[in-house]
Structure 1
């Protein structure tokens, strides 16, 4: 009975969560529910690290919102540290991460900034207003594109084995 419950729970987790990823190759575009994700290799060079040979790839990834709907991520009104705002993750499975290089690229939506005016006393004791920019949320409007670059180091003779998945 416990095995059946465990199996049911695992099946539920895999169907509900975002474990789905798709392979993507150089120059290809993959559609992820209205997000067109493109991956490109910009440069390749061979390097030697610790007596071992590797290939170093400079890569670029971009995501364009073709869904016809705006993607909005609102922040709560409580102070918080936001770290998980990515909308697409590009993961290089065979990247080593050596020499402070990347294993993945997280494409993040654009920040929605608001200017907030507040009143406070300055050093001279004068009551004055100041303006500070505050991030109210994140967005990606229809037709907008976000992109990022990274460096992947893979074993020599291999090309980056890359998969892509939608996070939001």
Structure 2
């Protein structure tokens, strides 16, 4: 019995390691380019906030983005994973490593690829025996066109006299 439990735990641990993503440091206005996609962030607004009894902190409005500079369209096709099909559109997750998360602010933000649809036609016979063709749009996956930028905004609070320190975890694109 103990042998089966240990084997199960070992398999689960190896599975989690296989799902782990590498993270990369990103400096403001100095993006990281991986597989032809540029990942970066910019600070849109900066202010100071006094948090009751905890002192003064820096409040930053941050935009994180991914730009396809590969010269070709990137397709993200749905695939079944150990945990289902959630986050199939996730391109990158940006983590602010020195964010406090106080006052309903974030510590991270996600950049997601837009959906794309393809037409699907079916033919059926109606009551009179005539063939009727119906076409519907079916979600085929997610897409990032060459030159396209997707972004998201969030607010972080960091200790006073510090700038946000960002790391990005990116989705791996398999070459086909």
- TM-score between both structures, scaled by the size of structure 1: 0.70
Q: In the TM superposition, what is the alpha-carbon distance from 1:113 to its structure 2 partner?
A: 4.1
Partner in structure 2 of residue 95 of structure 1: 99
- Alignment counterpart, residue 35 of structure 1, candidates 29, 34, 37: 37
Partner in structure 1 of residue 131 of structure 2: none
Q: How does 1:112-127 map to 2 (within 5 A)?
A: 112-113=116-117
Partner in structure 2 of residue 69 of structure 1: 72
CA RMSD for the aligned pairs? Answer: 3.1
Partner in structure 2 of residue 142 of structure 1: 146
Is 1:162 aligned to 2:172, yes or no? no
Partner in structure 1 of residue 7 of structure 2: none
8 Å CA contact 1:22–1:164 kept in 2: the answer is yes
Q: How many residues align?
A: 144
Q: In the TM superposition, what is the alpha-carbon distance from 1:66 to its structure 2 partner?
A: 1.6
Partner in structure 1 of residue 111 of structure 2: 107
Mapped to 1, the partners of 2:118 and 2:169 lie a distance apart of: 30
The 3-state SS of whatever aligns with 2:90 is coil
Task: Specify every segment of 5 or more residues in structure 2 that has no aligned partner in the other structure, as ranges.
Answer: 1-9, 122-134
Mapped to 1, the partners of 2:28 and 2:166 lie a distance apart of: 9
8 Å CA contact 2:96–2:164 kept in 1: the answer is yes
Q: In the TM superposition, what is the alpha-carbon distance from 1:167 to its structure 2 partner?
A: 2.0
